Structure 1
Amino acid sequence: MGDVQAPAGLPAEMDAWVVARPGPMDTHPLESVRLPVPVPAPGELLVRVEVCAVCRTDLHLAEGDLPPRRPRTVPGHEAVGRVAALGPGTAGPPPGTRVGVAWLRSTCGECRHCRRGAENLCPSSTYTGWDADGGYAEYLTAPAAYVYPLPEEAGAAGLAPLLCAGIIGYRALLRADLPPGGRLGIYGFGASAHLTAQIAVAEGAAVHVMTRSAAARELAVELGAASVGGSTDSPPEPLDSAILFAPVGDLVPVALAALDRGGTLAVAGIHLTDIPALNYERHLFQERTLRSVTANTRADGRRFLELASVHRPRVTTTPYPFREADRALRDLAADRVEGAAVLIVGSGRGTV
């Protein structure tokens, strides 16, 4: 970083993980490194990371499913931490304030999508842990206008998954057009799905979970699912809405076939394997709808965090020491994580 200095009173360097060589997790695409502590620009905050949840999007970036936008990026976009410093002229929360740094990092605010409240579709949008270094590090910077204030009384590990798994799940729930008291199918039951299911149940829905993981089916029952089954099983009743969380295109026709007339399927992931040929009469006729989900707006994030403060979903986490970020991603790839994997960054020295 040349002659740029870290803010006064802070270390000059930090521990971090970077995506060094995108590829399958058994090729060790992540590398543990020492980096300069970043310096916040005007309008930005420097955040000292307490914990960072591990998202499937991080896995897609590490394995190359999501093309890297810059070399050796620090992944991670579900970071909970405290403001360490403010960039020049920045109006924001004072140092020591707990904040959350999420996936959406910036938008232009001027395009037709931003002007109509659809900033998630902004062509100039940027993303934490993809366009800029993220939370697999002791410190990160983020625009002050895009961070979320977080409660002091809650544990950091339980808050982190809310920042992407929760927010994106909520966006997917909106896109699925679930009617009041409706029947919702959920395909795949990881970090995002287990939070979304609880919000739907709390709002009066009957939730049917289809997943290949026996442990995930057990968790779904504990969280109030009306039924559970294998990933290709038929639910016990036609669905008003469904959300596909698993990045498996083969499940799209399965979920569409489970919809009642007028039902909607929302695909929640940023990456999906190829969708096989659909049969119009079986999968789409009778006004069934197939929708994608693209990022989220800040309004989505604020609304979800409000709902979470009311309904207080149980956040199931599997903690990992910061030094084992690569193992967390390997476990996520192999479906060995219950709920959400969370890196305990703390001082960055690998302690839980």
Structure 2
Amino acid sequence: MTVKAYAVTKAKGDFEPFEFELGDIDPYEVDISVESCGICHSDLSMVDDEWGMAQFPLVPGHEVVGKVSAVGDLVSHVKVGDRVGLGWHAGYCMMCDQCMGGDHNLCANAEPTIAGRHGGFADTVRAKAASVVKIPDGLDASEAGPLLCGGIAVFNPMVQVGLSPTGSVGVIGIGGLGHMGLKFAAAWGCHVTAFTSDSKRQEALDMGAHDTINSRDPDAIKAAAGRFDLVLSTVNVPLDWNAVLATLKPRGRLMMPGAVTEPLGINVLPDMMFKQLAVGSSPVGPPVVIRQMLDFAARHNIAPVNEHFPMSKVNDAFEHLRSGKVRYRIVLDRE
């Protein structure tokens, strides 16, 4: 089968039409006829080869929504015609302790959808069946793509820390990840505070925040000492992390789905030790939590705020992403 796609042939290159061949489908694989695909900042990092793992030509796209067009002989949980989603992982080993324990996202041999294979900026994408999840009928499939990476990146930490619905949550950075963190935490039942600029204050309140803290005001952050059970940091820039830790209650958690690449410079004393705090992160989520997240989003009518581009305008979409002016995610619609 010939797949028509859009690819970059070098780091930081422009997208060009690209075709490649898919061989016979394996017994445990699924082919998805792509309807839409979100653009994640991770796609930009791969296009620019920031992580040194891109292989060119590269077809990005790991927030895929579409209909199943073919299934292998041993696939049982989806059938041709089902509307499904595919996120960061397109396969797992299915035999390691992590997979057998339900933590597929921690599998050492997990297969990224856009590393070593071609992703969803295409008319068809192929993946191992275990990584493919049904889209609930209650979700608007045309808007759901960003939930499959950005959404699970902020939902999974809430599950992993056992967040109480009576908890107090701070969300740092109201952008592509953070705005979904606000919506999820508010629907969870928590009191939610957005760390953001004054220019986004009203938007944060409209998306579920109960109050805001000016993230550029050290005194405002200091005044929030001991307030939060969980702080979700969705930014990828260095902050005064010791000041952030001071906003946590005893046994509080700072979780960092934002990919900060610089050392954190965290002091163990006084707050981490005397308040028994913890700092962590997590790689997206396993299929079972992705399904839970999609069901939760459908139940509470949660959707990311998206801007749409036709897939043929992928270069315009990436230029808009690089500008930093996106509100708040981009979805490519296949014409």
TM-score scaled by length of structure 2: 0.89
Secondary structure in structure 2 of the residue aligned to 1:228:
strand
1:23-38 superposed matches below 5 A: 28-36=12-20, 38=22
- Cα distance in structure 2, aligned partners of 1:89 and 1:314: 33
Do the aligned residues in 2 keep the contact of 1:39 with 1:46 (CA within 8 Å)? Answer: no
TM-score scaled by length of structure 1: 0.85
- Give the aligned partner of residue 308 of structure 2: 319
- Give the aligned partner of residue 70 of structure 1: 55
- Give the aligned partner of residue 284 of structure 1: 272
Task: Quote the sequence identity (%).
Answer: 26
- Cα distance in structure 2, aligned partners of 1:141 and 1:71: 18
TM-superposed deviation, 1:151: 3.5
Secondary structure in structure 2 of the residue aligned to 1:52:
strand
**2:193 is aligned with what amino acid?**
H
Do the aligned residues in 1 keep the contact of 2:7 with 2:18 (CA within 8 Å)? Answer: no
TM-superposed deviation, 1:177: 4.5
1:56 aligns with 2:41: yes
- Cα distance in structure 2, aligned partners of 1:213 and 1:301: 33
1:34-49 superposed matches below 5 A: 34-36=18-20, 38-39=22-23, 41-42=25-26, 43-49=28-34
Q: How many residues align?
A: 328
**1:227 is aligned with what amino acid?**
D
- Give the aligned partner of residue 143 of structure 1: 128
1:4-153 superposed matches below 5 A: 6=1, 12-14=2-4, 16-22=5-11, 28-36=12-20, 38-39=22-23, 41-42=25-26, 43-87=28-72, 90-91=75-76, 93-152=78-137
- Cα distance in structure 2, aligned partners of 1:210 and 1:178: 19
Secondary structure in structure 2 of the residue aligned to 1:342:
strand
- Give the aligned partner of residue 349 of structure 1: none
1:188 aligns with 2:176: no
1:259 aligns with 2:283: no
- Cα distance in structure 2, aligned partners of 1:77 and 1:95: 20
**Cα deviation code 1:86-111 (max 9, x no counterpart):** 34554453332211111122111222
**1:44 is aligned with what amino acid?**
E
- Cα distance in structure 1, aligned partners of 2:322 and 2:214: 19
- Cα distance in structure 2, aligned partners of 1:332 and 1:204: 32
- Cα distance in structure 1, aligned partners of 2:51 and 2:162: 28
**Cα deviation code 1:171-217 (max 9, x no counterpart):** 122245533311111111223322222121122211111134824x3
Extract unaligned runs of 5+ from structure 1.
1-5, 7-11, 23-27, 347-352
Secondary structure in structure 1 of the residue aligned to 2:177:
helix
**2:241 is aligned with what amino acid?**
V
Say which of 203, 225, 244 aligns to 1:219. 203
1:273 aligns with 2:257: no
Say which of 338, 343, 352 aligns to 2:327. 338
C-alpha RMSD of matched pairs (Å): 2.3
Secondary structure in structure 2 of the residue aligned to 1:191:
coil
Extract unaligned runs of 5+ from structure 2.
none
**Cα deviation code 1:208-250 (max 9, x no counterpart):** 11134824x3321101202223334445642111011111233
Do the aligned residues in 2 keep the contact of 1:232 with 1:251 (CA within 8 Å)? Answer: no
- Cα distance in structure 1, aligned partners of 2:250 and 2:42: 32
- Cα distance in structure 1, aligned partners of 2:70 and 2:100: 31
- Cα distance in structure 2, aligned partners of 1:213 and 1:59: 27
- Cα distance in structure 2, aligned partners of 1:262 and 1:93: 41
**Cα deviation code 1:281-331 (max 9, x no counterpart):** 255232111012123111111111111121111431111121222332333
Do the aligned residues in 2 keep the contact of 1:40 with 1:141 (CA within 8 Å)? Answer: no
Say which of 192, 195, 200 aligns to 2:185. 200
